[in-house]
């Protein structure tokens, strides 16, 4: 018997030892034994795929005070600590051995020192507590896309959340045998005070790319603790780079065109930029809202949602703009709310829900009343701006039938979008795959939101909406995307969208419902149903096609004045954007492929030629070829 098995037999009950040994994987046994010895829990619970085990997490989360029941069956609420409300980018670092370099834009720490530090925080951290050992799948089981994962945590809230978000993986591990090729996550919320993590100054999220291993400690917020979410995305990006596939920060949806046609789109948007609401557009179907794996299969690009649930921002979710999600949030099914306001009747409330909010209740700051301020005299909002909901996609009325298809969905289009007040038009098609990856994806900028720590409203560079999660040099990541179209008979068309364009008065030029028209037009283009107008920046819709879509799908009149205002090509702003982004690559990305600079130069030449002919601002009607 190995040393790991001896320790596990000593520390686990007979039932849970039997469960862990049934998975004949020495690397996994070593990982669990090391975690048990390091963290010193009072007991260990090994989760199988059984509904009873999943139900145990739900009960334990409530008993431990990490969740509280709400007024609708299946609904609970979790509160994170006041200063533990978002991904901690500063303390999320890669553990790099000597000689490794991911570039200055990616946080890292010397591996030996980092491991020593974080393991010192884990030492005896679970004394008096139960360790939960969970097995999950990234992607549908029994698929080329599948990655088995093991999560160790002492937080029943984290385990409960993952049971909603991910497919069970215990039986998959049995089929996996002794292979060492799986992802590992160890988390502890640390010492608690009022059921939230206390030692925030010791919050760490360290990622070991060599070992496919993530450490997370002294935090509860899902983005720092739910290992299979953005933490696993970092591991998958490196794995995909080595194996010739892509791991992307993308939704996947079925866009429903004429005569019952469904065209599948993937889309990359930074947090709070319309990503989930796009994937949930009325009349369309959702495969996933956040993370996709893309593979080449039989001359096609195909993709899966690695999750089966949504961990979404709840702010501004209301019955009018997000009817399907709102229905799930207000009817019996399994939902975890986090950092919302809970009134005396255990009813949740959040910013932008479409009804008046109470003037008192319980939120992430404790007992709350209108006008309450924190220690720095900042007003505390009723619900946090980054408050979340966690639910199962199959509980939504628009769940797409390909959600669990092991072959994935065939991609017809890719969309990039961000918060952009003055440059991009609402929807535009790139000229080709290379232009799309470089001008739409690798040049993506967006204004910051409350989903990350720091100042809001600052325009930031965020290539492919994946910058925060990259685990390979940026230049290699761009080249991987460019090369991915090789061998594909008809690569998906690439589009940009912008829901945040403003007029001279500062008002938004798009209505919230308009995004449905932009996506439906992209579907028509992907299937060759409509023509487009060629501009210096790409291909834009014709007015008559948009007017018909507005009438048919929104029952709204779309004026030529709105069209002109929205689809005027802004030459100075586009040139400034190219200059800003190119400087970032020149200053910070030494391995930038030359094709990026060549493509920028071609785009700049087109813009200046058009500027000489038409002036700084070009009306779309002026570009129609007679």
C-alpha span between 528 and 483 (Å, rounded): 24
- For residue 575, the surrounding DSSP H or E stretch is helix 571-588
What is the length of the chain?
626
Residue 554 CA: distances (Å) to CA of 119, 281, 514, 518, 572 = 56, 12, 8, 12, 33
Taking the CA atoms of residue 188, residue 190, residue 195 and residue 199 in that order, the dihedral angle to the nearest 10 degrees is -130
Residue 303 designated active-site: no
Q: Tokens 């991915």 identify what position?
A: 484
In 3D space, the residue among 219, 28, 208 whose CA is nearest the CA of residue 133 turns out to be 28
CA 455 from centroid of its chain's CA atoms: 20
Residue 611 CA: distances (Å) to CA of 121, 272, 606 = 59, 34, 9
Q: Tokens 């979790």 identify what position?
A: 78
C-alpha span between 126 and 189 (Å, rounded): 9
Q: Tokens 């010492």 identify what position?
A: 191
| Helices and strands per DSSP (H, E), number in the chain | 18, 35
Q: Are 391 and 310 in contact (CB under 8 A)?
A: yes
Coil, helix or strand at residue 165: helix
Both tokens assigned to 116: 């020593």
Both tokens assigned to 599: 């493509």
Phi/psi of residue 538, nearest 5 degrees? 155, -160
Phi/psi of residue 272, nearest 5 degrees? 65, 30
Which of 134, 137, 149, 273 is the catalytic position?
273
DSSP class per residue in 91-133: TEEEEE-TT----TTS-EEEHHHHHHHHHHHHTTTTTTSEEEE
In 3D space, the residue among 233, 198, 240, 197 whose CA is nearest the CA of residue 92 turns out to be 233
Positive/negative CA dihedral, 83, 308, 295, 146: positive
C-alpha span between 560 and 295 (Å, rounded): 41
Residue 52 CA: distances (Å) to CA of 48, 55, 66, 277, 393 = 9, 5, 20, 33, 21
Catalytic residues: 273
């Amino acid at each position: 018997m190995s040393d790991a098995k001896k320790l596990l037999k000593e520390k686990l009950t007979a039932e849970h030892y039997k469960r862990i040994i049934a998975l004949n994987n020495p690397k996994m046994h070593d990982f669990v034994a090391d975690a048990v010895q390091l963290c010193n829990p009072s007991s260990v619970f090994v989760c199988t795929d059984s509904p009873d085990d999943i139900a145990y997490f739900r009960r334990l989360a409530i008993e431990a005070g990490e969740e509280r029941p709400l007024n609708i069956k299946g609904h609970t609420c979790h509160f994170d600590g006041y200063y533990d409300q978002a991904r901690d980018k500063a303390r999320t670092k890669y553990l790099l051995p000597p000689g490794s370099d991911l570039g200055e834009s990616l946080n890292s720490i010397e591996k030996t020192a980092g491991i020593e530090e974080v393991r010192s925080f884990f030492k005896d951290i679970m004394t008096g507590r139960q360790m939960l050992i969970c097995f999950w799948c990234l992607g549908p089981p029994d698929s080329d896309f599948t990655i088995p994962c093991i999560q160790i945590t002492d937080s029943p809230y984290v385990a409960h959340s993952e049971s909603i978000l991910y497919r069970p993986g215990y039986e998959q591990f049995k089929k996996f045998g002794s292979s060492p090729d799986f992802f590992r996550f160890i988390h502890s919320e640390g010492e608690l005070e009022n059921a939230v993590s206390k030692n925030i100054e010791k919050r760490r999220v360290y990622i070991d790319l060599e070992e496919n291993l993530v450490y997370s400690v002294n935090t509860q917020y899902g983005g720092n603790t739910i290992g299979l979410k953005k933490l696993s995305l970092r591991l998958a990006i490196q794995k995909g780079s080595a194996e010739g596939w892509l791991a992307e920060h993308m939704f996947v949806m079925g866009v429903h065109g004429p005569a019952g046609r469904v065209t599948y789109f993937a889309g990359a948007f930074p947090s709070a930029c319309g990503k989930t609401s796009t994937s949930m557009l009325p009349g369309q179907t959702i495969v996933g809202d956040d993370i996709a794996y893309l593979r080449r299969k039989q001359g096609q690009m195909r993709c899966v949602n690695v999750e089966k649930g949504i961990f979404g921002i709840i702010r501004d979710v209301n019955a009018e703009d997000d009817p399907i999600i709102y229905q799930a949030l207000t009817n019996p099914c399994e939902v975890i709310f986090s950092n919302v306001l809970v009134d005396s009747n255990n009813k949740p409330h959040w910013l932008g829900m479409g009804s008046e909010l109470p003037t008192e209740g319980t939120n992430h700051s404790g007992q709350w009343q209108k006008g309450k301020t924190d220690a720095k005299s900042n007003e505390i909002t009723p619900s946090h701006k980054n408050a979340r909901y966690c639910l199962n996609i199959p509980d939504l009325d628009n769940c797409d039938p390909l959600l669990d298809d092991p072959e994935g969905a065939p991609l017809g289009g890719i969309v990039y979008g961000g918060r952009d007040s003055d440059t991009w038009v609402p929807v535009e098609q790139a000229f080709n795959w290379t232009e799309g990856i470089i001008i739409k994806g690798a040049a993506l900028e967006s204004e910051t939101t409350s989903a990350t720590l720091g100042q809001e409203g600052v325009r930031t560079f965020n290539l492919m909406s994946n910058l925060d999660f990259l685990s390979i040099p940026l230049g290699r990541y761009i080249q991987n995307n460019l090369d991915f179209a090789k061998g594909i008979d008809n690569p998906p068309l690439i589009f940009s969208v912008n829901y945040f364009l403003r007029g001279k008065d500062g008002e938004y030029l798009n209505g919230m419902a308009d995004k449905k028209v932009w996506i439906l037009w992209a579907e028509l283009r992907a299937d060759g149903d409509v023509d487009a107008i060629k501009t210096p920046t790409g291909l834009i819709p014709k007015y008559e096609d948009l007017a018909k879509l507005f009438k048919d799908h929104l029952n709204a009149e779309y004026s030529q004045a709105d069209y002109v205002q929205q689809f005027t090509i802004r030459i100075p702003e586009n040139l400034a954007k190219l200059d800003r982004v190119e400087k970032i690559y020149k200053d910070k990305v030494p391995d930038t492929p030359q094709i990026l600079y060549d493509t920028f130069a071609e785009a700049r030449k087109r813009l200046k030629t058009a500027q000489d002919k038409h002036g700084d601002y070009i009306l779309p009607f002026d570009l129609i070829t007679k």
